[in-house]
Each structure stands twice: as structure tokens, then as C-alpha cells.
Amino acid sequence: MHKLVPGQSRKHGLPPGTPVFVGQVREEAPEVTLFDYDEAQFKTERVTDIAGCAPLKDKPSVTWINASGLHDVGLIQSLSETFGLHPLVQEDILNTNQRPKVEDHGDYLYVVLRMLQWNDAAGEAIAEQVSLVLGRGFVLSFQERAGDVFDSIRDRIRAGQGRIRKMGADYLAYSLIDAVVDAYFVVLEKQGEKLEAVEEELALAPDRATLRRINALKREVLMLRKSVWPLREVLSGLERAESGLLSDGLGVYLRDAYGHTIQIVDTIETFRDLLASTFDTYLSALSNRTNEVMKLLTIIATIFIPLTFIVGIYGMNFKYMPELDWAWGYAVVLLLMAAIAGAMVLYFRRKTWL
């Protein structure tokens, strides 16, 4: 059975700010990668010494440190303490059931997002929590597992394409958020294809498997809705924030990302309406199928009513029934019954009831 809040009981009885991982425990080893760049140069490496990252906070270049593997509490705690994150922020990073939000802690901004990636093998979207910390000249990103939607950003940093190497850490944080938002469109496109397949199946031959697929789509769309609705508040909060960590020119980019979330929300609401009508269509199809079966049975019963009447008459045990002594009586009655049945079938066909 799927747990709604997996691992939440691990925090029971512990004081606030205690770093405890709440989520699905994974076997893969955690990994920390570093990108440090400015307009002229960049470097990337895998981090093995967390404490050695401390001097990067004071460098004029932009530093992006990405940590995958929240189940390694010691690693996350060490990285958080190196960059001076509050214990409650550490607790939120390790709690993968957080609602998307943004918090201003003065020296840094803390942002929680839900990142969705489409898994072609499973035919469904995989969701995970991503936490971003925007400081002066650095961005920290924390994710549950290896693999994300940030490869395009890494490629732009390496190639020096676009504005990213010319802008500050706030633009990098925006780019990460925008990549998460853009990944929703991929998931929506795949969900739309699944919805179209279900609608085609409803038009042909709906069955119990169709109902299971409709219910699975409902759950997936609900997950999308719960992920995107709070994201609007996150982007709106960043746009209105009066933090010195956000440059004046970033507002136009945040408004663009906010517009994308509105478009995603509208699409999700359309999917919800379509799924509701699809479920009604499924019930109507079942009802129509039942009506067709009942109509056929009714027609068969109606054809046999006059035949049963004739058989009932000649099944009476009266002594004087002249037809019983006719040589062709039996054949005449059979022909009469066949004629009545044939006439009724022709009548029903003319009425398009058959």
C-alpha cells in the first residue's frame, strides 16, 4: 500500500531542527558536483571535501553546488553548515514531503520545488523534491536522487551560451526554476497522449482495464495540480521579494516563468474536466451496453410470447380439439409459429430495433 507521508514518523519526539531524512531510502551513493564560472571561464568537478567549498562563498564568480542523495544526512548537514543554513532549513531539505514554498532568511533565499521527469519505461511521471538555496554569489541545489532536468543549464554554462555566464547567481537560480517548470510541459504532453488513448478506447470497447487507466490518470493529474498550484505562489513571492539577492532585471524573467505556470495550471484544469467527462462517458457506455443486452433479451422474449400462447392452447387436455385429428395439424402449427416469428423479426428490423 502506498504511504501518503512516507517516513514522517521518524521525526516523532525529536526537537525542531533535528536533521532527519523523511522520504524513500535509496541505495545509490550520494554525489556532489560543483560548477564555478564567470563570463570568462568556468570549471566543474566532483566535490569530495565539503569543508573545502567554504572559500567559494567569497569569490566574485558564481558557484553552483548540486547534491543528489538526501538519504545521506551527514553529507547534507555538512554542506548546510558550511554555507551557514539554519537548522530548520536543514530539516526542510531532508523532509521530502514539503509543499513548494519560498522563504527569505536574509543572507539567503530558500526555495522548495517539485521536479517531475517522464519515465518512458514506466509510462508515468516521477516526482521528487528539489531544494534551492540562493546566496550572494552561490546557489545550492538538493535533490533526492541522481538525474534531473538541469542538463541543458550545465550545457549552457560549459558552452557559454545565452546570458547565464554573464549574469549572477540569481539568474542561475531562476534558470533552475525555469527548467523545472519547462519539464512540466513534457509531462503534460505525455499525459495528453494517454488521455487521448483512453478516449479512443472508450469509443471502441471500454472495460474494467479502461476504468483503471482513468483512475490512474486522475491520480497523476492530481499530483500535477498539487505540484504546480503552490509553484505559482513561489514565483509570485520571488517577483515581489525585496531581497538584495535578486537583481532588478530578474523580474521580467520571473514573470515569464509565472506565465508558464498559469498555462500549465489551465492545461491541468482542462485535463481534470476531460477526465471527469471521460468517467461519465465510461458509465454511459456501460449503461448503453446493458441497455443493448436488455433490448435483445426483450426482443427474444417478445418473439416467444405468441409462440408460447399457441403452445399453451394446444397443450390443454380437452377431449374435443378438432386440430388434434388433422393429418397435417402438427406441420400447420409449426409453420404458423415460424411465420409469426419471422414476421416479428422483420418488423423489428424495419424499426431498427435489431
| pLDDT of the residue at 14 | 63
| pLDDT of the residue at 2 | 43
Mean of the pLDDT values across residues 333-352?
88
User: Percentage of residues in the chain with pLDDT exceeding 70?
Assistant: 94
For cell 524513500, the residue is 24
Residue 6, pLDDT > 80, answer no
For cell 406441420, the residue is 331
Rounded Cα distance, 240 and 277, in Å: 39
Class of domain 293-350: mainly alpha
Rounded Cα distance, 213 and 318, in Å: 64
| Beta-strand relationship, 62-68 and 138-143 | parallel
Residue 263, pLDDT > 90, answer yes
The grid cell for 54 is 567554504
Mean of the pLDDT values across residues 15-36?
77
Neighbour-count burial for 324-337, b at 16+ CB within 10 Å, e otherwise = eeeeeeeeebeeeb
Please state whether the predicted TM-score (pTM) of the whole model is above 0.85.
no
Domain ranges, ordered by start, for the chain:
8-284, 293-350
Mean of the pLDDT values across residues 276-282?
82
**Is residue 142 exposed (0-12), middle (13-18) or buried (19+ Cβ within 10 Å)?**
buried
In the DSSP assignment, the letter for residue 8 is: G
Contact between residue 32 and residue 75 where contact means Cβ atoms under 8 Å apart: yes
297 backbone dihedrals φ, ψ, rounded to 5° = -65, -35
Rounded Cα distance, 192 and 246, in Å: 36
Report which residue type is found at 47: V
Among the ranges given (58-62, 135-139, 286-290), the one the predictor scored with the smallest mean pLDDT? 286-290
Contact between residue 101 and residue 234 where contact means Cβ atoms under 8 Å apart: yes
- What pLDDT, in 10s, does the model give residues 209-246? 888 888 888 888 888 888 888 898 899 999 888 888 99
Q: Where is 273: in which H helix or E strand?
A: helix 251-314
Question: Which CATH number, 3.40.50.1110, 3.40.50.80, 3.40.50.300, 3.30.460.20, labels domain 8-284?
Answer: 3.30.460.20
User: Percentage of residues in the chain with pLDDT exceeding 90?
Assistant: 34
| Beta-strand relationship, 31-37 and 42-46 | antiparallel
The grid cell for 225 is 495540480
Rounded Cα distance, 116 and 149, in Å: 8
